[in-house]
């Protein structure tokens, strides 16, 4: 799905952005210059997270490894130094589609960037090379295998290469799961360009991988001490609202959620290919633009779906986790999990695909008892040694605790990754704190039934006994004759299910996978039975109706009133038209946040237009008049 910038943007569209034209004050300290570039080129007022630290380190010509969560804005970290250094910056990137996206965005921002890659014709690549050789290009995006040929390296070594950026730097590490042999050669880059600092960027690297990346890419001093900086940014994504709710009627829950967000782009994750297709058909039948995406689909079908998703808004990708790697769409507004993800790491990674533009976004997860059962059996059948399985069960426990968390979800999530934060006020629990009930009496009743039936039945049978049902399976085992039969009549079936789940999640009960998910008592249950501890639980606070109401996510954006919302829609339409015309994805023109700001500020002059968030001088020149027309029309 290469999006060809070269074919859609004529060079005459472009503006040679020399530093003078960008009106950067060359006498200012570099940190000031960096801010000026941020403002003039990208239209942003301040750096985010560790961006400034990374840029400063690079401007000091130090090799720098930046580990930042997806969406924090890694690209700016090397693009700004590239502009300040002048000369040529090489950007090594493994994914052609991402390369083309970034080149396109840079061109629109008035920066001379281009790429040499296998999806382009020989003629195009030769033309790009001419621009490189004549010093006409600021950033050259190139695939590792193309870069690391003797000829290319020799030719580049003669040029003014001032910076080398390596995207997806974790691919260099043999310890990591995404090792790419063609990245291994990159450790030789230092020898060819000893004066160009290396910027290594990645979103996923644990301690070991980080060390490995730095060891391979960074130089050493005469005492063999490694030089360079490793800068790790926090993993919080405060713009993503976190919600988790039990699955009771998944079709309704899903449709309520997605249907209320028709105009938005989203990803719905499913566990299997079959389920993916079922859900896609279901959403399509409900009038939504949904596409299935999984590894079993024909490559061209997949590419077409992905292209639609990238270019349009209002498209839902229904996908297995195969979808997402290398998806660089910044305006994905929600990620909906129809089932429990495999663990906290996977969850964090998957929801991280929402809201990369920093605008309010949502992560909704549905889960149920059968998810827990299935995940446990996945782990048990996974192979590997007992230690490994025990670990995986523990990691799953952590995820369950997150699902049943009685306190702020973001706290629970981040504490898992070793970060401490205050309650976030942007998760379902903070916004709608659950009432904690004392469930000790109910727990006693449940424990009694489990004991009386020999710890060999699942939750359904236990609840039916408690509720006093008399059906075939109850009679077959004589369960209606138990003294505890009917003892929990006063509690609804739903509440019982919640109690069971939370007793499982909080370690009072265990699901015996080998035995069809029979409920077993743990030591903790016995302590409870002895009256040593109590059981507090969260009665279910989020019914399905909560799902259908898109609540305003936390943001520093004031909410639009009805009139402004109208204007916002008109601006979106304008953006769609421009995107079609330029054959680029809509967000490359402007982000939602930019349109939002526009709808609020209603600029009608070019200077005012430049004040809008996300408007740099190049985009002002290209688009101000068109959008001002829309605003003036709307004002009547």
Residues binding Zn ion (CB under 5 A): 408, 410, 424, 427, 430
**Do residues 247 and 199 touch, judged by C-beta distance below 8 A?**
no
Beta bridge partners of 363: 242, 335
Please tell me the distance from the alpha carbon of residue 300 to that of residue 158, in angstroms, as a whole number. Answer: 41
Q: Which of 39, 302, 311, 356 binds ligand ADP (CB under 6 A)?
A: 356
Q: Which of 44, 193, 334, 336 binds ligand ADP (CB under 6 A)?
A: 44
Smallest separation (angstroms) from Zn ion to the CB of 355: 16
| Residue 237 binds ligand ADP, judged by CB under 6 A | no
Toward ligand ADP, which CB reaches closer, 426 or 591?
591
Restricted to residues 75-114, the positions that interact with ligand ADP (CB under 6 A) are 75-76
| Residue 72 binds ligand ADP, judged by CB under 6 A | yes
**Do residues 503 and 369 touch, judged by C-beta distance below 8 A?**
no
Q: Which of 24, 39, 63, 74 binds ligand ADP (CB under 6 A)?
A: 74
Toward ligand ADP, which CB reaches closer, 72 or 443?
72
If contact means CB under 5 to 8 A according to the sort of partner, which of Zn ion, ligand ADP, none does residue 49 touch?
Answer: none
Q: Which of 34, 37, 68, 165 binds ligand ADP (CB under 6 A)?
A: 68
If contact means CB under 5 to 8 A according to the sort of partner, which of ligand ADP, Zn ion, none does residue 439 touch?
Answer: none
In the three-class reduction of DSSP (H, G, I as helix; E, B as strand; rest coil), residue 438 is classed as strand
If contact means CB under 5 to 8 A according to the sort of partner, which of Zn ion, ligand ADP, none does residue 427 touch?
Answer: Zn ion
Smallest separation (angstroms) from Zn ion to the CB of 545: 21
Restricted to residues 47-66, the positions that interact with ligand ADP (CB under 6 A) are 47-48, 51
Please tell me the distance from the alpha carbon of residue 219 to that of residue 429, in angstroms, as a whole number. Answer: 48
Restricted to residues 547-606, the positions that interact with ligand ADP (CB under 6 A) are 591
**Do residues 453 and 520 touch, judged by C-beta distance below 8 A?**
no
If contact means CB under 5 to 8 A according to the sort of partner, which of Zn ion, ligand ADP, none does residue 44 touch?
Answer: ligand ADP
Q: Per this entry, what is the length of the chain?
A: 636
| Residue 357 binds ligand ADP, judged by CB under 6 A | yes
Longest dimension (CA), the chain: 91
Q: What is the DSSP string of 180-214?
A: -HHHHGGGGHHHH-TTS-EEEEES---HHHHHHHH
Smallest separation (angstroms) from Zn ion to the CB of 430: 3
Toward Zn ion, which CB reaches closer, 318 or 344?
344
How many residues sit close enough to ligand ADP to count as binding (CB under 6 A)?
17
Please tell me the distance from the alpha carbon of residue 215 to that of residue 212, in angstroms, as a whole number. Answer: 5
Beta bridge partners of 238: none
Contacts of 298 (CB under 8 A, 6+ apart): none
Beta strand 198-202 with 64-67 is: parallel
Smallest separation (angstroms) from ligand ADP to the CB of 264: 16
- Residue 330 has phi, psi (to 5 degrees) of -75, -20
Tokens of 571: 């601006």
If contact means CB under 5 to 8 A according to the sort of partner, which of Zn ion, ligand ADP, none does residue 408 touch?
Answer: Zn ion
Contacts of 402 (CB under 8 A, 6+ apart): 244, 344, 347, 409, 412, 413, 416
| Residue 358 binds ligand ADP, judged by CB under 6 A | yes
- State the residue number with the nearest CB to ligand ADP: 73
In this chain, which stretch among 46-54, 309-317, 542-550, 558-566 interacts with ligand ADP, using CB under 6 A?
46-54
Tokens of 447: 């424990």
| Residue 71 binds ligand ADP, judged by CB under 6 A | yes
**Do residues 1 and 97 touch, judged by C-beta distance below 8 A?**
yes
Question: Under the rule (CB under 6 A), what is the footprint of ligand ADP?
Answer: 44, 47-48, 51, 68, 70-76, 330, 356-358, 591
């Amino acid at each position: 799905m290469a999006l060809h910038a070269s074919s859609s943007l004529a060079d005459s569209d472009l503006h040679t952005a020399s530093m003078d034209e960008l009106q950067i004050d060359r006498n200012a300290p570099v940190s000031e210059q960096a801010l000026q570039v941020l403002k003039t080129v990208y239209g942003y007022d301040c750096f985010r997270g560790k961006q400034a630290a990374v840029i400063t380190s690079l401007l000091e010509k130090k090799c720098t490894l930046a580990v930042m969560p997806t969406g924090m804005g890694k690209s700016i970290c090397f693009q700004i130094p590239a502009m300040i250094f002048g000369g040529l910056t090489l950007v090594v990137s493994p994914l052609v589609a991402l390369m083309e996206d970034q080149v396109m965005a840079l061109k629109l921002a008035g920066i001379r960037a281009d790429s040499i890659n296998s999806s382009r014709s020989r003629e195009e690549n030769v033309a790009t090379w001419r621009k490189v050789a004549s010093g006409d290009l600021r950033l050259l995006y190139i695939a590792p295998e193309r870069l690391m040929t003797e000829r290319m390296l020799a030719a580049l070594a003669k040029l003014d290469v001032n910076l080398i950026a390596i995207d997806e730097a974790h691919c260099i590490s043999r310890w990591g799961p995404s090792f790419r042999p063609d990245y291994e050669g990159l450790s030789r880059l230092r020898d060819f360009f000893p004066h160009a600092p290396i910027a290594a960027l990645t979103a996923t690297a644990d301690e070991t991988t980080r060390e490995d990346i730095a060891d391979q890419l960074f130089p050493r001093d005469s005492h063999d001490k490694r030089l360079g900086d490793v800068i790790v940014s926090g993993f919080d994504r405060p713009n993503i609202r976190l919600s988790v709710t039990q699955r009771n009627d998944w079709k309704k829950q899903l449709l309520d959620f997605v249907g209320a967000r028709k105009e938005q782009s989203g990803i719905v994750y499913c566990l299997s290919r079959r389920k993916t297709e079922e859900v896609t058909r279901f959403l399509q039948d409900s009038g939504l633009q949904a596409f299935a995406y999984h590894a079993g689909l024909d490559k061209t079908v997949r590419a077409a779906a992905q292209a639609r998703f990238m270019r349009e808004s209002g498209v839902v990708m229904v996908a297995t986790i195969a979808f997402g790697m290398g998806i660089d769409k910044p305006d994905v507004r929600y990620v909906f999990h129809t089932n429990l993800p495999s663990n906290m790491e996977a969850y964090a990674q998957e929801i991280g695909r929402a809201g990369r533009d920093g605008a309010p976004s949502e992560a909704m997860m549905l889960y149920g008892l059968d998810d827990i059962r299935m995940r446990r059996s996945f782990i048990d059948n996974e192979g590997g040694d007992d230690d490994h399985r025990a670990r995986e069960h523990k990691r799953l426990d952590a995820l369950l605790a997150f699902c049943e968390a009685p306190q702020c979800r973001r706290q629970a999530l981040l504490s898992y990754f070793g970060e401490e934060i205050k309650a976030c006020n942007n998760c379902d629990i903070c916004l709608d704190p659950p009432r904690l009930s004392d469930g000790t009496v109910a727990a006693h009743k449940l424990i009694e039934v489990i004991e009386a039936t020999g710890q060999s039945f699942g939750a359904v049978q236990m609840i039916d006994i408690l509720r006093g049902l008399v059906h075939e399976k109850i009679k077959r085992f004589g369960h209606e004759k138990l003294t505890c039969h009917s003892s929990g009549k006063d509690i609804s079936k739903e509440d019982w299910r919640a109690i069971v789940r939370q007793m499982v999640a909080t370690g009072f009960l265990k699901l015996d996978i080998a035995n069809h998910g029979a409920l077993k008592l743990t030591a903790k249950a016995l302590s409870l039975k002895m009256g040593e501890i109590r059981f507090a639980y969260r009665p279910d606070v989020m019914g399905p109706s909560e799902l259908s109401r898109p609540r305003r996510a936390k943001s520093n954006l004031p909410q639009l009133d009805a009139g402004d919302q109208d204007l916002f829609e008109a601006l979106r339409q304008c953006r769609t038209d421009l995107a079609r015309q330029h054959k680029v994805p809509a967000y490359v023109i402007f982000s939602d946040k930019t349109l939002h700001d526009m709808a609020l500020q209603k600029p009608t002059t070019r200077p005012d237009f430049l004040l809008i968030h996300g408007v740099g001088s190049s985009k002002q020149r290209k688009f101000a008049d068109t959008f001002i027309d829309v605003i003036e029309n709307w004002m009547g």
